[in-house]
Each structure stands twice: as structure tokens, then as C-alpha cells.
Amino acid sequence: MTLPALRQCYLEGRLRVRDVVAALLARQAEFEDHGIWIYRPEPDRVLARADELDRLGPETLPLYGIPFVVKDNIDVAGWPTTAAYPRALYTAEQDAYVVGRLLQAGAVLLGKTNLDQFATGLNGTRSPYGVCVNAFDRRYISGGSSSGSAVAVAANLASFALGTDTAGSGRVPAAFNNLVGVKPSGGLLSTRGVVPACRSLDCVSVFALTVEDGLAVTRLAAGYDADDPFARAGAVNLTLYAAPERFRFAVPAMERLQFFGNDEGSRLFAAAVERLRMLGGVDVAVDFEAFLQTAQLLYQGPWVSERAWAIASLLGTQDGDLLPVIRRIVETASGFSAADAFSAYYRLKALKRRIEPLWRDVDFLLTPTAPTIYRIEDVQADPIELNNALGYYTNFVNLLGLCALAVPAGFQGDGLPFGVTLIAPNGGDARLAAYGAQFQAAHGVPLGSTRESAPPHRFDPAPREYVDLFVCGAHMGGLALNHELLQRGARFVAECATSPCYRLYALEQFAPARPGLIRGEEGQAIQGELWRVPLKEFGGFVVAIPPPLAIGSVQLGDGGWTTGFVCEGHAAKQGRDISDLGSWRVYLQRQSASQPRT
């Protein structure tokens, strides 16, 4: 059911679109009691679309014959939209912008899926159309609000699905059903034709079996929509490229990690961190308090009032089908004033400023997607507090204008899935996909609820957005010339060393003194640091380097090569050989210790 696999079958003539669609329509009967659907068109209508595509052929359409479903707060022309509130039902006159783009690309829409009413909830139990159950264990929640979309993909009823994400609705169901969940940069996917939950925060999200599929669907659904006032005008790279061999990622400091008694979650998150280390990552524990304080703003001031306004505009004078738990949430909006709204907005701006420096030091933030998973009966008994716990790691993302990628990360001892989320600033979608795809491929977990493992990913070469630079002298962190890197936006990646075939010389003609690194037949491993320099700043940095120093290729201790500081060979005659010390820092310490004290 992955996009490349189906496309290959179509291109080779081994399958027709009608074959796939007919099989999936028949398979729906196996999941009638899972609470997946709100609306399914007549089978003949879907099969007619399949026949139309079979007559066209697969060569020119990137999503030719790919089956998908959409959450029932997203418009489809001629189909009803309910947002899980029957009294608000209307027949859409045109497709939502994203739906239209996917249909034009050749995809086949099979139906509209269940959700927490008005997309308010993270658990999947808040719908008059029935509780949507977990694809792995019917006793457990599916996650929400995009519950039916996630379960449909996990159950192999569709290759991908559209959901929405305001506070985690496109990520929590992904984690609970062993899927990839793409929460794109705000405005990247138009929300025109989407029933709003909290319009300033809403995103259309994508559920898929693999990171590659999720990014491909996002790329095809994206596009500047001039009729959406929240649309993003700037282009965003959405190519799946190979992740760098070395990277840095943030994790919440241990005292802020919360699993609400779920020891399995703690174990699996630790294993995910270790897997990223094995892939070349360096983890950095960060203070998570500002993120948690941001999350607390979600149900204060402007955003709960905005959610209440969105619902009120649909309710009219009748609210007989409004679930009690939804009414309880939106009624709190009456307690907020305009002053409260501005106060919360100012607080959010301050928290954003406090968090901003983090992104200069790491490639992404890694968190659990959800701290734990609950039984359906437990959530129904305590619908507010347990739902709030599910958003511990998701509620801050949209408020801070970040993008996120939820990725499967293994299974608990009871067979329920666990997931992690990679988070980056707005526009970092391709970066997250690069690391997420590498993580998924290395992990080897099955796809959805099937026993099939993820196929190999096809990576494009990494874009040259930066240069990894090995430094072993005055440009290292805390030393005399480190400011030259910092001023150009460079950031530290990792401590490392050369292969054992270099010699280091103290070039004392410089002030301050600087080392010269020369490769030879006999040598030592020289300690240094790897820094990531923005490509647009690299040229200006290089032209300022004085001879006999230069930039060349340096072999690291793991056998790989990188760009780094080197020195012309003739400088060895004028410098002092300090190779045995193995480090410029050690040399400086020795020099400092030998200075007379006054």
C-alpha cells in the first residue's frame, strides 16, 4: 500500500486501479465496528473514478490510483461535511484546496472519516458517530481528533489520509496506530475548505505508512493559496534528502520527561535516543520548561475563545448534538476578556524569544509523541484530565509556529505502538523528513498494523545549505577566535578527532598563536571540534584565513572526510611540533601553567 509499491504495480500492468479499489471496498466490511467512517459514497461512484484512471494510464499522474481518505471536517465537492456534529451537516460545493490538488494528481478518495467532535480532543472517543478504536487493541483509544483517518491507514484501508492538527491531532493518532504523522509548517497546506477548530493554529496533516510517502503527499498537496489568508507565500524545500552523518538533537531534560506511570514509554524513548546516537547524533538535554509553559497557554485567553467562536458560528441556535465534554470545554471561554487575550499573546511572544536560541544549536528537538496510552473506558470516565495528559508533548508546537514529524518507535510489551516526534522551526519540513526517514529505516518496525517492514528509502543528495568544518585551534568553542564562527551563525556539532596520521604545529608568528595541521605518513590523532557553517557565510569566512593556513579535506577518526583547517607543509620548519600533546587545548593549558605568576 506504499506509494512506490502501488505505482510500480500500475506501471508494470500487474494491477488496475479498479482491482485495488474493489479490494479495499470489500475489506471495509472487516472493520465495520471500528468507528472509522462518517461518510462513504456509493461503491459505483468510487469505481467510476477508478475506471476513469484506468483509461488514462499511470505515466503522467504522480498519485495515480493511490487510495486515500479525509477527515470529515475537510470539504469534498458533493459530499456532506459534519465535523462530527450532525446538525451542522452541509453538502460542500467545492473541494477543499488540498483535496483538489490530490485528486488532480490522480488519487482516489474512498470516504470521510470519524473525528472528535469539532476536532476538539486527542483521544477519538468524542463522536456521536461512535468511538474509533485502536487498530491494535480495541480496548484502547485510537488517538484524536483525526481518529478515523489514522485507523484507516493503519488497517490498510488507504495508502494515506488527511487529518487536521491544532494541538496534536495529526501526531497522537499516528503514534497510537504505528504511523507517520506529518504536521507541516503553518500555511504550507491551505486550510481553505476546512471547518476551523482554532483557525490561527489549524494545519492540515498527513498520515502515511512511511516518511517518504508522507513527504510526497505533503509536497503534492502544498501550494500557495492566495484565497487562504494564513497561506505561506515562501517556498519550502520538500525533497527527501540524505541526512548528514553527524547532527545534534535536543531532548527534554530528565526531570521534565513525563510518562504518567508508563514505564514502557520511558524505555522506548531511551531506545529511540540511543538509535539516533548510533546514526551519528549527539543528544543535548535542554530545559523543557518554556515549552511546557507554552502548552499551558493553549486553553487560556485567545485560543480557547477562538475555538468557542468557531463552534458557535456553526451551532446557530441549536446545540442538541453537542457532546457534554465539548460544551464543558468551550463554555470556559466566557471567562476570558480581551485583556486576558492580549496578556496570553504577550506571554507567548516572550516564551518564543526564550526558546529561539535552542534552534541555533540543534537540528531538531526529539520528544515522545504521547507519554502514555489509555483504555477507552478510562478516558470516558475522566475525559478532561486524561486528554490533557495526551498533549504533554504536542500542545506547544502550533503555538510556537513549529513543524513536526511523528515517527513509529517500537512496541510496548502489551503490543501497543509507541512513537516519537521530531520538531523544528517553521520551514524545516524536509530536514525532519531526512532524519525521520533514516530513523524509520534503521528501526525496521512494521508498517501500520501489517507485518511488512519499511522499504528502502530513495534519498536525494543532501542540499548544500551548510558546510561541516573541522577546527582544532583558536576557532574551537571558548577560544580566542570562536566568535568568528558564532557571528556567521555557525553552531557546534560534536567533539571529534582526526585519523592518526596528522601532526600539529604551534605557529607562534600569529597573535594569538594558532596551530597548523599537516597530514603525513607518521602522526597522531588530533582532537578538535566539528562546526556547521551556513553555506552563504562560508565564502566570507574562508577569504579571511591567513597563509600558511588554508581550508582543505581532513580525515576523521572514523575514516570519513570533512572540510577543515589545514596548513601548508613548509610551515612545519617554522613551527613547534606539539603533536604528542594531541590537542591545541592541552598546549594552551601547558603554556598557561608555565607563565610566571605575579
178: left (phi over 0), alpha (psi -120 to 50) or beta: left
Which triple of cell numbers denotes residue 143? 488517538
The catalytic residue among 112, 127, 142, 145 is: 145
The catalytic residue among 71, 146, 159, 583 is: 71
Going by C-beta distance under 8 Å and a sequence separation of 6 or more, which residues neighbour residue 371?
Answer: 258, 259, 260, 262, 265, 389, 390, 392, 393
Quick check: 147 and 124 in contact, CB under 8 A?
A: yes
- Other CB atoms within a 10 A radius of the CB of residue 90 amount to 12
Any catalytic annotation for residue 149?
A: no
Quick check: 569 and 519 in contact, CB under 8 A?
A: no
Which triple of cell numbers denotes residue 488? 556567521
Question: What does the DSSP assignment read for 105-163?
Answer: TT-EEEEEE--SGGG--SSS---TT-PPBPSS-TTBB--SSSHHHHHHHHTTS-SEEEE
Three-state SS sequence of 288-333: CHHHHHHHHHHHCCHHHHHHHHHHHHHHCCCCCCCCHHHHHHHHHH
As a whole number of angstroms, the distance between CA 485 and CA 471 comes to 10
What backbone torsions phi and psi does residue 319 show, to the nearest 5 degrees? Answer: -135, 30
Sheet strand arrangement including 491-497: 491-497, 527-534, 466-471, 561-567, 549-555
Q: What is the DSSP letter of 473?
A: S
As a whole number of angstroms, the distance between CA 91 and CA 77 comes to 7
* 3-state SS, residue 494: strand
Any catalytic annotation for residue 205?
A: no
Look-up: residue for cell 557571528? Answer: 487
As a whole number of angstroms, the distance between CA 149 and CA 3 comes to 17
Quick check: 536 and 591 in contact, CB under 8 A?
A: no
The catalytic residue among 127, 169, 185, 583 is: 169
Task: Tell me whether residue 598 is exposed, middle or buried, using C-beta atoms within 10 angstroms of its C-beta: 0 to 12, 13 to 18, 19 or more.
Answer: exposed
Any catalytic annotation for residue 183?
A: no
Query: Hey, which residues are catalytic here?
Result: 71, 145, 169
